Each structure stands twice: as C-alpha cells, then as structure tokens.
Amino acid sequence: MKDAIQLTGLSQPELVSFLETMGEPAYRGRQLFAALQHRRLCSFDEITDLPKDLRTRLNNVAKLATLTVQSQYLSDDGTRRYLMKTHDSLPVETVFIPEERRDTICFSSQSGCPLQCTFCLTAQLGLLRSLTAAEIVDQIRITLNDAYGTGVKPPRGTNLVAMGAGEPLLNLDQLLKALRVMSDPQGLHIVPNRVTVSTAGVVPRILELARISDRPHLAISLAAPTDELRNELMPINKRWPLEELLSACKAFEKTLKPGERLTFEYVMLAGINDSDEQARQLANLLNRHDIRSKVNLIPHNPAEPLPYRPSSDAVVERFKNILESKGVHTYVRRPRGQDIFAACGQLAARQTTLNTRVETNLVGAN
C-alpha cells in the first residue's frame, strides 16, 4: 500500500473523477469528500453512508490516514503540540494555538528542512522529505479532531500558518494543492485569506506566489538587518541577499489587497540582533524599500544545543519603540507553549537528534 492514492489530498472534483474510474456515480465522490473534509473521518469503517463493498474496494487501493500521532503535549496556556509520523516514519510537527477570537494551527510543509538557519533546531535534521498535500491536510484534520472532537465544528475561526518545520516555498505545488482542498466550502472551508505562509526568502517562489490570484498571505523571516549577519544566521541569504529579497517583496506588494500588509518576522536573539543600532538599521532597510508591511518581533524559544538566548522583554520593547519611532508598524508576538518546546522544529529535532524524550506535560501518546 506504499503507493496507495492519498484521498485527503484530493479536491472534490478529483475525488469525483477518482470514484468514477472505479465505476461509481459522481455523488459518491461528493459523499466521500464530505466524509473526509467536513466530518473529518479517519477510517473507511466510519463512512457508513458508503456501501460496505465500496469501502472495501477503496481500502484496497487508497489510503485515508497518512499520519499517525506519535506524541502530543498540552501546554499550561492551552497550546497543543503534536509530533506525528508519516507512513515512512518521518517526524511531522503541528501546533494548535487557541486564542480568544480564533484558533491558529501552525503546520509543517516538510519533514526536517534543507535550510540551515542557525537559530532553528529543525535545521539539524536536514531535509528528510517534502510532505504531500494529503499530509498537510491531515495535520489540520487531526488537530481539529483532537481539539474539538471528530467532525465537530470549531467554535471559532481557524487560521493556518505554514511556520512549522520546512521551507513551504520549496514545496509550493503540494502546499497550494492542500490549500485548494482545504478552501472548499463543503469541506474544512479554510480560505487562503486565513492562511499565512512564512518563507526564509526563496526569491523566485515569492515572485511565483505573487502571480497566483487566490494566494495566501506571505511572511518573510528576516532575523537580521544586514547581509553580514543574515549570512550567518540564515545561509539562504548568500543565495538571495537582502536587496534581492526586498526587491521581490516590493514586487509582491503590488498584489496586496486593501488593508493587507506583508509581514516581516524578526526572531529576537540576545546580543546577536537586538541592539539599538540594529533596530535603526532594520527600520532604514524597510523604509528604503517602502513596502506596505509590518514587523513581528518573535521571542526566541531557547533550545539546547542552540547557542542563542531570547532577548529580554525590556530589550524587545526598546527595539519595538525604535522601529515605531521610524514609522515601522511593529508587533510583539507573545510566546506560546514554551513549556512544551513549541518553537519551529524543536520537538522532532529533540527526539531525533538528541534522542531525548520529553516527559513534561505529556497528555497522550499513540
């Protein structure tokens, strides 16, 4: 069954066509799509509105669940973190962050990551492989089922952010396929406008994304105001340096909708990128390119063996004030789930690289 078709990565029309190739009428495809994407069912046995013989035939040629939950962790602040496993035993991390008015699910686009950002534990895994559209969709289905119960409508809206493991723009085809499946009103109905994709700066793909009409929002991880420092922290900068990256952002700006801003993420590393001078350099850089944007200052989640510490609250506040005094819209992202290592790639990297089992806050393990 290794090459079995992964049904949760198929759009409604694709599922209809697939069932037609099995000699079934179109309405069976629509029924199956609703069972997977609206009722979020995870086994053929549960889809009792399909005839038993059809379920048996489907079971022989197709796969319903592409991921299994290996461990899950619940933070004191309600954040849930999942370490899932693909059929070929690769780690996939997903984080559920409940907030007053909406929930956010942070999903992974790859298992591991080929980029080598020095402040990120996932980097230490290297790229294991890119995820399929079904594996992306299944992270959301599994997370919503766990948070609210199978098929239960979430009480608040759901936002998605592609900020888990991996560089989403290096898996753009599968990512866009997954987003199309999830946007269907008869399924999960999470439209691209509720999705933010975060990139380390893959310039050609930023330009490609700009040409897509129903694209998600874009966030760029900057982490440094100069090429010299960014080359060190994010080696992708040697391939696409800041001037080239910000020129691509300027081109992307033309596609922004009214009220929409491009987001620049800036992880705050004590003594590395958080000085007053660096705040001024960052403001000057952004002002020079005059992009309709905002900056999110992100507290670094410390994780051994990474050699970085988070900036203090006072330093973050000061950095923010300098940016704002120069006209840059700036927000500080509240750290969530710190007690469960809820930063990019921390869980898989911890388990895989360090072979360490996290025992605190364990609420279940499959």
Which residues in this chain contact ligand SF4 in the complex, by CB under 6 A?
113, 115, 117, 120, 122-123, 165-167, 200, 344-345
Cα distance between residue 30 and residue 122, in whole Å:
38
Taking the complex as a whole, the smallest distance from the CB of residue 347 to ligand SF4 amounts, in Å, to 12
Identify whether 228 is a catalytic site residue: no
Which tokens belong to 12? 């409604």
Taking the complex as a whole, the smallest distance from the CB of residue 118 to ligand SF4 amounts, in Å, to 9
Q: Which residues lie below 8 Å from residue 308, measured CB to CB, with a gap of 6+?
A: 119, 269, 270, 272, 300, 302
Identify whether 120 is a catalytic site residue: no
Residue 128 phi/psi, 5-degree rounding, is -90, -55
Q: Which is nearer to ligand SF4, 11 or 221 (CB)?
A: 221
Catalytic residue among 24, 93, 167, 265: 93
Q: Which is nearer to ligand SF4, 146 or 227 (CB)?
A: 227
Q: Which is nearer to ligand SF4, 136 or 283 (CB)?
A: 136
93 forms beta bridges with 83
Answer whether 96's CB lies under 8 Å from 105's CB. Answer: yes
Catalytic residue among 42, 113, 120, 344: 344
Taking the complex as a whole, the smallest distance from the CB of residue 177 to ligand SF4 amounts, in Å, to 21
Answer whether 81's CB lies under 8 Å from 347's CB. Answer: yes
Answer whether 174's CB lies under 8 Å from 133's CB. Answer: yes
Using alpha carbons, list the distances in angstroms from residue 66 to 103, 230, 292, 328, 354.
23, 36, 39, 43, 26
Q: Which is nearer to ligand SF4, 123 or 136 (CB)?
A: 123
Q: Which is nearer to ligand SF4, 164 or 192 (CB)?
A: 164
Instruction: Return the beta strands (E) in the chain as ranges.
Output: 5-6, 62-63, 67-74, 80-86, 91-98, 102-106, 110-112, 127-130, 157-162, 195-199, 217-221, 262-268, 293-299, 330-332, 362-364
Q: Which residues lie below 8 Å from residue 116, measured CB to CB, with a gap of 6+?
A: 123, 235, 236
Taking the complex as a whole, the smallest distance from the CB of residue 288 to ligand SF4 amounts, in Å, to 25
Taking the complex as a whole, the smallest distance from the CB of residue 167 to ligand SF4 amounts, in Å, to 5
Identify the burial level of 213 via C-beta atoms within 10 angstroms of its C-beta, where 0-12 means exposed, 13-18 middle and 19 or more buried.
Answer: exposed
Taking the complex as a whole, the smallest distance from the CB of residue 354 to ligand SF4 amounts, in Å, to 16
Q: How many CA atoms lie within 13 A of 224 on its CB side?
A: 23
Catalytic residues: 93, 344
